[in-house]
């Protein structure tokens, strides 16, 4: 039997209505993307959202299928001059060496401990993997989360002298909120460490841990002396969430093809292809770092030499044109870059 | 500037209210678990939900942290006499052999093709793995999904002669809905194949693909002749989502510790331990198959010999008592077992 609505029930419904008005979100008619200049990029986003969420539209996407995926480094926040997670690993080495003093005499730890930035820049990929293994594995998941949290509170970006979590792009934050207000589930799909990004994604982007897909290692279940179970992070790679690993990771962790995908480098090409290859309306966008003044300009598409991070080669630019992906020019499409601008 | 509520806005709010009344869910005061008999199990569920969702309660759990995980086989639906996925694999062999006729002369395919149930029951674990690899891998994700969907439409359980997806436990469906109506995200955490369960979980349980954690293999990203990208299922195990693999899988796929967990066998012990070991209110429950008449009675806790599936050993029963897990007796706690009862 259906319950009969009582007076108190109607009061609650009106209260619910009032809170919707107060939040001002659900029915707001104002510009959802105030930090964007009018142009092809902003138009593509707004038209996509309207087409996929308007009942009766030929391009309507049912709410359950509204999945949008975002690369993180260089797409949602600054990746230059070095990924923040690499900074974390390097800055964590002294504590690792303190716990195991013998490491101080062994490379690459010796170089990192020297503080010589020039020598550190020359470390090989194999050296970096040793640093990653020493700083990201061999500890419990809870300890790791606590360490990253602590680091984020004090670490500062070298240029703006601000916490990394404040260096997110305001226009992209607006896109995340705009999509969510329209029933999209927003995911981060990052080449960075899944556990690392999960520590701050909820507070920084409003994206809960279960919606962060990243490069992931295995864990091992075990018991502490008091019988309490815990998970230890192992140096066993389960998912290399970069390039072809991005659609593979999306299948593993989400199990649906995204309707919209956002990236900024060659590492995102396959994710964008995968999203775009589905039926119906699709949105694929690439952030181009062409704003040397407010942020950075880098990569061959800028006529600049390739860099270690966030490579945006000419071939990706050509691919974007060919595949109908929209390139976002930081310089021209964004009114503001950071919330503190 | 906040938008001023217009008359049409108020109309929409009232319409929203009306639809809430019609759905009868959000504010229903009636019994959320009508298929449960009054008893310790039902009481544990209701008290847990009330304690964790009542603002101001000492055991209040913020909405973002409301994660509940459910084993599938034997917890949400019938697993006897054989897991439905094993049935799928066996019934898929003729098509596999038709595509590769040489397999007909090779074991274990020869035995499966003979249709001799007695011989099939004697197949070794290694044989079963060959069957699994031949039927679950080497095809594209899209083809696999289509095959499973097709099979589910025609396959029938040997006892009730009904589609497997109708053999879900009504009382557990009520628990899923009750938890979701109270802001819980419900997940399946199954030893079964993640891709297999995802095909029907949304329609059968209201659980979307991204909330199904299961035994998972790798995929490989590639391109079809027309340039369209696709994923191929590979015989590479990424996650063995059973026993200790369940908390490991939960960490990988969800990244939060569940507040409530439901299982029915030794394969669920670690998931229940992991959920229970967190701070605050916790709910851990085990379904005991003790209803030979309406479903099945099996396992040593029944004084019956151990079976291939759904082992509920005495040691698990003892562990439940020791750890404060609630055992659900199908016979005594459930008024109805199936929707068609």
Summarize pLDDT for A26-66 with one digit per residue, the tens: 444 699 999 999 999 999 999 999 999 999 999 999 999 99
Rounded to 10 degrees, the C-alpha dihedral A172/A177/A183/A184 comes to: 30
Residues near A11 by Cβ (< 8 Å), separated by ≥ 6?
Answer: none
Residue of A nearest to B210 (CA): A254
| CB-closest option in B5, B231, B252 to A251 | B231
Residue of B nearest to A233 (CA): B248
Nearest CA-CA distance, residue B1 and chain A, Å? 9
- Is residue A55 within 8 A of residue A276, CB to CB? The reply is no
CA distance A269 to A263: 8
pLDDT digits (tens, 9 = 90+) for B26-54: 444 699 999 999 999 999 999 999 999 99
CA distance A258 to A213: 13
Q: How many CB atoms lie within 10 A of CB B311?
A: 17
pLDDT digits (tens, 9 = 90+) for B194-248: 999 999 999 999 999 999 999 999 999 999 999 999 999 999 999 999 999 999 9
Strand B185-193 to strand B212-223: parallel, antiparallel, or no bridges (unpaired)? Answer: parallel
Residue of A nearest to B18 (CA): A13
Contacts of A24 in chain B (CB under 8 A): 2-3
Nearest CA-CA distance, residue B216 and chain A, Å? 7
Buried-exposed string B46-82: b where 16+ CB fall within 10 A, e elsewhere: bebbebbbeeeeeeebeeebbbbbbbbbbbbbbbbeb
Find which of A230, A252, A269 to mutate to test the B interface (most B CBs within 10 Å of its CB): A252
Which residues of chain B fall below pLDDT 50? 1-28
Contacts of B238 in chain A (CB under 8 A): 238-239, 252
- Is residue A167 within 8 A of residue A160, CB to CB? The reply is yes
CA distance B269 to B283: 13
Q: How many CB atoms lie within 10 A of CB B275?
A: 27
Q: CA–CA distance from B60 to each of B69, B270, B276 (Å)? A: 18, 24, 16
Nearest to A216 by CA among A244, A187, A252: A252
Residue of A nearest to B10 (CA): A17
Nearest CA-CA distance, residue A298 and chain B, Å? 29
* Cβ within 8 Å, pair B231-A216: no
CA distance B217 to B214: 10
pLDDT above 60 (res A5): no
Q: Is the dihedral of CA B312, B315, B319, B321 positive or negative?
A: positive
* Cβ within 8 Å, pair B210-A2: no
pTM of the model: 0.90
CA distance A224 to B275: 15
| Preceding amide of B81 cis, omega within 30 | yes
* Cβ within 8 Å, pair B17-A21: no
Contacts of A231 in chain B (CB under 8 A): 247-248, 251
Q: CA–CA distance from A244 to each of A263, A273, A274, B222, B231 (Å)? A: 14, 10, 10, 8, 10
* Cβ within 8 Å, pair B253-A253: yes
CA distance A270 to B227: 12
pLDDT digits (tens, 9 = 90+) for A266-302: 899 999 999 999 999 999 999 999 999 999 998 656 6
Write A57-63 long-range contacts (CB < 8 A, 24+). A59/A280, A59/A281, A61/A259, A61/A280, A61/A281, A63/A183
pLDDT of residue B29: 63
Q: CA–CA distance from A16 to each of A13, A178, A220, A340, B6 (Å)? A: 5, 21, 45, 34, 16
Contacts of B28 in chain A (CB under 8 A): 3
Nearest CA-CA distance, residue A209 and chain B, Å? 6
Nearest CA-CA distance, residue A198 and chain B, Å? 8
């Amino acid at each position: 039997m259906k319950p009969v609505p009582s007076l108190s029930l109607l009061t609650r419904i009106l209260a619910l209505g009032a809170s919707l008005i107060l939040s001002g979100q659900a029915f707001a008619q104002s510009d959802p993307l105030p930090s964007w200049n009018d142009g092809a990029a902003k138009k593509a986003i707004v038209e996509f959202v309207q087409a996929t969420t308007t009942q009766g539209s030929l391009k309507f996407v049912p709410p359950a299928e509204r999945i949008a995926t975002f690369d993180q480094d260089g797409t949602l926040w600054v990746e230059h001059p070095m990924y923040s997670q690499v900074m974390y690993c390097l800055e964590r080495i002294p504590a690792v060496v303190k716990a195991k003093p013998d490491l101080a005499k062994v490379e690459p730890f010796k170089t990192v401990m020297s503080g010589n930035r020039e020598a550190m820049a020359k470390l090989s990929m194999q050296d970096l993997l040793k640093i990653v293994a020493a700083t990201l594995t061999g500890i419990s998941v809870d300890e790791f989360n606590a360490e990253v949290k602590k680091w984020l509170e004090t670490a500062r970006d070298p240029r703006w002298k601000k916490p990394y979590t404040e260096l997110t792009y305001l226009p992209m934050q607006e896109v995340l909120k705009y999509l969510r207000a329209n029933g999209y589930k927003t995911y981060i799909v990052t080449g960075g460490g899944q556990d690392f990004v999960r520590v701050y994604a909820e507070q920084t982007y409003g994206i809960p841990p279960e919606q962060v897909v990243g490069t992931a290692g295995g864990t091992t279940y075990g018991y502490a002396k008091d019988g309490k179970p815990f998970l230890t992070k192992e140096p066993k790679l389960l998912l290399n969430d970069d390039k072809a690993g991005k659609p593979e990771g999306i299948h593993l962790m989400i199990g649906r093809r995204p309707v919209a995908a956002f990236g900024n480098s060659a590492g995102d090409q396959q994710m964008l292809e995968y999203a775009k290859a589905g039926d119906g309306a699709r949105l694929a966008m690439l952030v181009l770092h062409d704003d040397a003044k407010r942020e950075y300009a880098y990569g061959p598409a800028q006529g600049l030499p390739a860099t270690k991070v966030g490579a945006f080669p000419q071939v990706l630019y050509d691919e974007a044109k060919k595949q109908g992906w929209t390139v976002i020019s930081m310089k021209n499409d964004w009114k503001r870059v950071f919330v503190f601008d």
